[in-house]
Structure 1
Amino acid sequence: MKKINHKDINDQQLVDVRTQHEYQAGHLKNALNLNPGNFKKYATYYLDVNQPVIFIVGSEEESHLEELSESADALGFTQNNGYLLIEEVPKENLKTTETIPAEDFLNKTDDFILLDVRHPDEITRPAPEKNLVNIPFENLVNDYQSLDTSKQIFTLCGSGNRSTAAASFLESKGFNPKVIEGGMKAIQEIGK
């Protein structure tokens, strides 16, 4: 896979495969956060298989590039343009994703949307019901327009991976979401 310079990025689809915490700490604008496992499961929902894809990795993830390339090929992506090392991107070109500790979220009294991106079949720990909207992550690409843009959106999943991916998608559509740190696991811990 060919290494790309950040200055050579224009209209390619950017897929940041780093962990949720690394992505949240600094990412390129409009990069979709899909870790390698989520890439296999959700890439065809969010990405055009006929458009160029660039994987954004940290030096730790370089070893996953062959596997990512094989996954992209297996999913039918026709233009795998290469990869970009995040460490080579100037810090001033990176954005951060806002997060909120679960306890702070549970203490909120203002109006907001709690966006649970888990599939209903997998919900074993129910989310708080106040202002709850459930749109499974695989459907968000088609249903995000139903969200009220005037309200703060907090994304939630089981542990934070998909809620970070959802926030990355919503950011690319002009929303300013916040990820609930630790997901339902953290909320459940507080409730004990």
Structure 2
Amino acid sequence: MFFRKIESKGIAHFSYMIGDGKDLAVIDPVRDIGIYMQEARKAGKRIKYILETHRNEDYVSGSMELGEKTGATIYISAHEDLGYLYGQGIENGFEIKIGDLTLRALHTPGHTLGHLSYALYDKNQTSPYMVFTGDCLFMGDVGRTDFYGKENLEKMTSLLYDSIFEKLLPLGDEVLMFPAHGAGSACGESMEDRPYSSLGYEKKYNRALQVSTKKEFLEKFAKMRIKPRYFEEMEELNTKGAPFVGESTLLNVCSIEEIEHSKDCILIDIRSKEAYIGGHIPGSIYLTGSILSTFLGALFKTDEKLLFLTDGNVAEVEAIYWQCRRIGFDNIQGFIPHAAAAWEASGKELRRAATISAGDYQDGLRAEEFLLLDLRKEHEIKSGDPQKNKVHIPLQSLYECYEKLERDTTIYVLCGTSERSTTGYSYLKDKGYNPIIIAGGTDMLRALKK
């Protein structure tokens, strides 16, 4: 048996390759299909099948291009008519033979109406030993159920409960579980960062499954969540099929003069938070690699032109390139290595980000008139966190809410560690506001109280 788990960092996505004999199946491939082609070539196998658990919202699917490259058959759910322009529809119980292995489709609606999971059986086995759960069941969490609007929230959450408790968990405690996402994904709130799990472990320890009744499950999880602005574009691309991008990374190295010639570009600074705060090119937006996939699509439209400011790390630049392409940002103008140093060398000044220490903020050494902008998600907020003059706008929603803030007031920007605060600072500064980062965020504020 051949098995590979492919992690796409940034979007916290997992895709899988399963095979036996000469054939392979790929489940939920991302857009940079080169990794699947390379793995197949190294193993001396061919990709024969491509399976989707559902139409994904948070990244561009690579199914259509991978199918074109390999001749593989693409399988999608026939339980929901989304107007796909590619793929063959399959229903609950459909089986795919790969050597001595069998993949059986399970209709597990809730996250979406057509959602499929796939149970893997070995030859002559009546019980599966793996199940690929897509966005239905995660490690430590369950899939969100709000994509069909508030009016369908209870219905979708009820379907999710049935899928988990009546279809997945009865497969057996010993069955290994492989979801489509891990910790950090926008498709859940409390996913755990573990390399693998089992249905039995989740049944015992997953906090979302510690309920006595469906009613209790609905009370906890039938809720609307933030939907990043780029999700709808991903839905359209993943129905019609996205433009092909190939296997190669196309890095256009630019000079500092390119900034003057690219007034319509968004300048994205991908250096460390400390480097950005210490000195950055005016007008640039701080989005380092660890948070870029999460917030780039929330703050900007996918057709924006992007110019990246780097410290010269080629490996990081390549990773950033694919993070952008995975979420539909194709208009990448290039990368400027050692941009801050080059800016200074050209005779221009860097801007230092305004900060206040957590201690000074807590001791009241701040402006008399101010707003406290809390960029965290609702579930992160705890009693005892600062409340005075607070406005709560999660960073994912800042693009549609920032104009409600007062322009002539000092805005102290808060998050858990000051990572998101630095992004929020850069976004607001570019819009003409007067933001100040609370260094260390609520983690530091809480530590000072102990």
Same fold (TM over 0.5): yes
Percent identity over the alignment?
27
Q: Secondary structure at the match of 2:434?
A: coil
8 A contact 2:307–2:333 mirrored in 1: yes
Q: What is the rounded CA distance, in whole Å, between the counterparts of 1:19 and 1:79 in structure 2?
A: 23
Alignment-derived partner of residue 147 in structure 1? 405
Q: What is the rounded CA distance, in whole Å, between the counterparts of 1:13 and 1:75 in structure 2?
A: 16
Q: How does 1:105-124 map to 2 (within 5 A)?
A: 105-108=361-364, 110-124=368-382
Alignment-derived partner of residue 436 in structure 2? 178
Q: What is the rounded CA distance, in whole Å, between the counterparts of 1:137 and 1:111 in structure 2?
A: 23
Between Structure 1 and Structure 2, whose CA radius of gyration is higher?
2
Q: What is the rounded CA distance, in whole Å, between the counterparts of 2:383 and 2:280 in structure 1?
A: 30
Q: What is the rounded CA distance, in whole Å, between the counterparts of 2:419 and 2:299 in structure 1?
A: 16
8 A contact 1:23–1:33 mirrored in 2: yes
* Closer, same or farther: CA 15–104 of 1 in aligned 2, 3 Å: same
Q: What is the rounded CA distance, in whole Å, between the counterparts of 1:174 and 1:184 in structure 2?
A: 25
Matched, 1:136 2:386: no
Alignment-derived partner of residue 96 in structure 1? 352
Deviation digits for residues 120-161 of structure 1 (CA, Å, limit 9, x no counterpart): 122246521111111100011110111122221000100010
Deviation beyond 3 Å, 4+ runs, structure 1: none
* Closer, same or farther: CA 161–125 of 1 in aligned 2, 3 Å: farther
Alignment-derived partner of residue 20 in structure 1? 273
Matched, 1:71 2:318: no
Q: What is the rounded CA distance, in whole Å, between the counterparts of 1:141 and 1:103 in structure 2?
A: 30
Q: Secondary structure at the match of 2:257?
A: helix
Q: Secondary structure at the match of 1:93?
A: coil
> Which segment drifts farther, 81-90 or 114-123?
81-90
Q: Please tell me the residue identity of whatever aligns with 1:147.
A: L
Q: What is the rounded CA distance, in whole Å, between the counterparts of 2:252 and 2:279 in structure 1?
A: 23
Q: What is the rounded CA distance, in whole Å, between the counterparts of 2:362 and 2:424 in structure 1?
A: 20
Q: What is the rounded CA distance, in whole Å, between the counterparts of 2:297 and 2:269 in structure 1?
A: 15
Q: How many residues align?
A: 191
Q: Please tell me the residue identity of whatever aligns with 1:95.
A: R
> Which segment drifts farther, 78-87 or 181-190?
78-87
- For structure 2, list consecutive stretches of 5 or more residues without a partner in the other structure: 1-250
- For structure 1, list consecutive stretches of 5 or more residues without a partner in the other structure: none
Q: Secondary structure at the match of 2:400?
A: helix
Q: How does 1:37-52 map to 2 (within 5 A)?
A: 37-52=290-305
Structure number with the bigger relative contact order (C-alpha 8 A, sep ≥ 6) is 1
